[in-house]
């Protein structure tokens, strides 16, 4: 082992050594220590065919659902706490992933699993129609969570034509409309009780519901939110209020939430509005791509990992990467490639997907690790540190599925 690497190990132990309980939890399993040492020494896992990585990721998600034992999906696996409680928000947007994967494999068992997720969401839906916040069964409603579960319910209704899913989605959407501000934003029942531009990902499911019901009120509410979001755009395609808080630089995770909501909502727009949205998204996607491509030791090398956060100048000083955001940004680039036919987006997406693949262990004896995607790289990065959140794996699956779809189109 190199002397510098050994020194780094000592530094990490010192940082967390003051909390002996935490230290014991982190290092109690060889599988945990293996990940820590691999990330510390920058030893990547072998990259296999996409289908192998995809299969392992789906097996991890199925495992997370089975562990929860309620229909919902565990929030993920933590080195400290083990498997987490089921998470209403992310279970909601995992549903479309399972439905898409079932089509790819012609396997109805994934539809059955998705139905169980949707039924669990109905079972715990608040009387107001809202979706509960946080992991587990909490009493408080959250705007963003409600939108993500509507995505799941509407996709289930389109697949199964079961009215209970459309009814639940409608009830949830009516609650969203009842608490929306006049200018289109949501400032109550939000994370940290502040408005967020990434609520474009709430406008998107409202538009999906509009398409199913032909109720104009859902389209109007969604458009109001989108226009409010666009009002926060700068000339360099930066959007204010993209982060979880106003005093911290946004993660690529929430930046991608914002851009994805805009892309999907643009499908329902026409003319000038559509062009404005897509031009902003393309400009933002280019800024992120340039930041990524510039992180090279030389012209022929692969870029270093995308930093976890980006500021209003699309710059960062981060030493770690948000793997969730990386998978989401890959999706943004792939979608922009489909829209613009600009091969630069495809090229960047393929490279960043390979980096996420290299972080995925396909042979760990720990079933909480095998097939999952960590929150951060290295594992002790600030975003969901020492854990494998289910949404990181979900977005990784989505990126691989979209990559495969584009591959078919190219052929």
Question: Is 147 a member of any domain?
Answer: no
What's the confidence (pLDDT) of residue 211? 97
Question: Is 346 a member of any domain?
Answer: no
64-115 pLDDT tens trace: 999 999 999 999 999 999 999 999 999 999 999 999 999 998 999 999 999 9
Question: What's the total number of domains in the chain?
Answer: 1
Q: What is the band of 298 on the pLDDT scale with cuts at 50, 70, 90?
A: confident
Question: Is 9 a member of any domain?
Answer: yes
Q: Residue 212: is its pLDDT beyond 80? A: yes
Question: Is 274 a member of any domain?
Answer: no
Bridge-based pairing state of the strands 376-377 and 387-389: unpaired
Question: Is 224 a member of any domain?
Answer: no
Residues 6+ apart with CB under 8 A from 162: 115, 156
What's the confidence (pLDDT) of residue 1? 44
Residues 6+ apart with CB under 8 A from 130: 141, 142, 146, 172, 175, 176, 189
Question: Is 11 a member of any domain?
Answer: yes
Q: What is the band of 48 on the pLDDT scale with cuts at 50, 70, 90?
A: very high
Print the domain residue range for 16.
Answer: 1-43
Q: Residue 411: is its pLDDT beyond 90? A: no
271 vs 387, residue with greater confidence? 387
Q: What is the band of 19 on the pLDDT scale with cuts at 50, 70, 90?
A: low
What integer best gives the mean pLDDT of the chain?
93
Kindly state the percentage of the chain with pLDDT values over 70. Answer: 93
336-389 pLDDT tens trace: 999 999 999 999 999 999 999 999 999 999 999 999 999 999 999 999 999 999
What's the confidence (pLDDT) of residue 24? 64
168-179 pLDDT tens trace: 999 999 999 999
What's the confidence (pLDDT) of residue 405? 94
113-154 pLDDT tens trace: 999 999 999 999 999 999 999 999 999 999 999 999 999 999
What's the confidence (pLDDT) of residue 144? 98
Q: What is the band of 3 on the pLDDT scale with cuts at 50, 70, 90?
A: very low
Supply the DSSP symbol for 97: H
Overall average pLDDT of the 200-206 stretch:
98
CA 198 to chain centre: 12
Question: Is 12 a member of any domain?
Answer: yes
Q: What is the band of 410 on the pLDDT scale with cuts at 50, 70, 90?
A: confident
Cα gap 153→346, rounded to integer Å:
31
Q: What is the band of 5 on the pLDDT scale with cuts at 50, 70, 90?
A: low
Give the burial class of 42: count Cβ atoms within 10 A of its Cβ; 0-12 exposed, 13-18 middle, 19 or more buried. exposed
What's the confidence (pLDDT) of residue 17? 47
Overall average pLDDT of the 33-56 stretch:
92
Helix axes 343-359 and 390-410, enclosed angle (nearest 10): 140
314 φ/ψ sector (left φ>0, alpha ψ -120 to 50, else beta): left
Overall average pLDDT of the 151-167 stretch:
98
Q: Residue 20: is its pLDDT beyond 80? A: no
Question: Is 17 a member of any domain?
Answer: yes
Of the candidates 336, 327, 313, the one whose C-alpha atom is nearest the C-alpha of residue 376 is 327
Helix (H) or strand (E) holding 77: strand 76-78
Kindly state the percentage of the chain with pLDDT values over 90. Answer: 84
């Amino acid at each position: 082992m190199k002397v510098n690497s050994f020194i780094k190990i000592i530094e990490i132990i010192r940082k967390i050594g003051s909390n002996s309980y935490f230290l014991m939890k982190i290092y109690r399993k060889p599988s945990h220590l293996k990940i820590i040492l691999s990330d510390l020494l920058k030893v990547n896992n072998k990259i296999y065919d996409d289908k192998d990585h995809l299969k392992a990721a789906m097996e991890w998600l199925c495992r997370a659902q089975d562990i929860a034992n309620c229909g919902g999906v565990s929030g993920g696996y933590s080195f400290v706490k083990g498997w987490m409680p089921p998470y209403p928000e992310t279970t909601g947007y995992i549903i479309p992933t399972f439905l898409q994967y079932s089509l790819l494999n012609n396997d109805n068992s994934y539809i059955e699993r998705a139905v169980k997720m949707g039924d669990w969401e109905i079972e715990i839906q608040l009387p107001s129609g809202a979706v509960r916040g946080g992991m587990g069964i909490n009493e408080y409603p959250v705007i963003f969570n409600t939108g993500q579960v509507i995505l799941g319910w509407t996709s289930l209704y389109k697949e199964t034509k079961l009215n209970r899913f459309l009814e639940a989605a409608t009830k949830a959407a009516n609650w969203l409309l009842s608490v929306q501000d006049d200018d289109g934003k949501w400032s109550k029942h939000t994370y940290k009780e502040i408005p967020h531009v990434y609520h474009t990902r709430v406008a998107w499911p409202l538009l999906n519901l509009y398409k199913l019901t032909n109720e104009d009120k859902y389209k109007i509410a969604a458009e109001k939110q989108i226009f409010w979001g666009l009002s926060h755009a700068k000339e360099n395609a930066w959007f204010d209020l993209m982060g979880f808080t106003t005093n911290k630089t946004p993660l690529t995770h929430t930046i991608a939430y914002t851009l994805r909501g805009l892309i999907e909502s643009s499908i329902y727009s026409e003319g000038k509005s559509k062009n404005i949205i897509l031009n902003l998204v393309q400009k933002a996607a280019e800024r992120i791509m340039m930041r990524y491509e510039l992180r090279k030791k030389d012209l022929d090398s692969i870029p270093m990992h995308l930093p976890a956060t980006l500021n209003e100048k699309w710059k960062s000083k981060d030493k770690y990467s948000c793997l969730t955001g990386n998978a989401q940004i890959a999706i943004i680039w792939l979608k922009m490639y489909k829209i613009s036919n600009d091969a630069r987006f495809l090229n960047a997406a393929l490279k960043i997907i390979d980096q996420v693949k290299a972080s995925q262990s396909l042979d760990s004896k720990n079933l909480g690790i095998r097939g999952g995607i960590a929150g951060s790289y290295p594992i002790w990065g600030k975003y969901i540190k020492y854990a494998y959140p289910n949404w990181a794996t979900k977005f990784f699956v989505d990126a691989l599925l979209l990559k495969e779809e584009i591959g078919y189109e190219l052929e």
